[in-house]
Amino acid sequence: MNRASFYSPQAGRVIEAPRRTRARFAIGDIVRHKEHDFRGVIFDIDPVFANSEEWYESIPLEIRPRREQPFYHLLAEAEDSSYVAYVSQQNLLADCEGGPVDHPSLANIFEDYHGGRYQLRRGLAH
């Protein structure tokens, strides 16, 4: 399999990943966590796990996600807070019918909510 590498600031190292992965969601999509009560809008995607080992090891073994799948960076909202979340693809469901997300950083990254998703601000795509 062809592999590529990228530097992950969260992991503090170079990450090896397949050249092609199948991300189920895209930047601007609204998703909901399968197990925990929060939802969010995707603002970045890692093709495989690219966070710190401490973060990964802190997840109980019986629910720890596989590394070899896309992981999503979310501007997340819960009932009484907003934060940034890092979630594996296996733990996300589409949530475009839930309406817009309420997060203080949305306007920095996205334009208006339209058609069940957010459009990335011009000039932020890479």
**Amino acid identity, residue 16?**
E
R_g of the chain computed on alpha carbons: 15
Q: What are residue 120's DSSP bridge partners? A: 110
Residue 125 has pLDDT above 70, yes or no: no
pTM for the predicted model, two decimal places:
0.85
Q: Mean pLDDT throughout 18-30?
A: 87
Mean predicted confidence (pLDDT) in 95-110: 91
- For residue 75, the SS3 value is strand
With vertex at residue 121, the alpha carbon angle to CA 3 and CA 118, rounded to the nearest 5 degrees, is 85
SS3 label, residue 90: helix
DSSP helix/strand/coil, 42 = strand
H or E element at residue 53: helix 53-57
| Interval 73-90: pLDDT, tens | 999 999 899 999 999 999
In this prediction, residue 41 carries a pLDDT of 97
Which pLDDT score is estimated for 66?
A: 93
Q: Which domains does the chain have, with CATH numbers?
A: 23-120 (2.30.30.390)
Cα separation, 39 vs 85, in Å, equals 9
Contact yes or no for 76/43 (Cβ under 8 A): no
Residue 108 scores a pLDDT above 60: yes
Note the pLDDT of residue 1: 55
C-alpha–C-alpha distance, residues 28 and 2, integer Å: 28
pLDDT, tens only, 48-64:
999 999 999 999 999 99
Looking at the DSSP bridge assignments, the partners of residue 4 are: 17
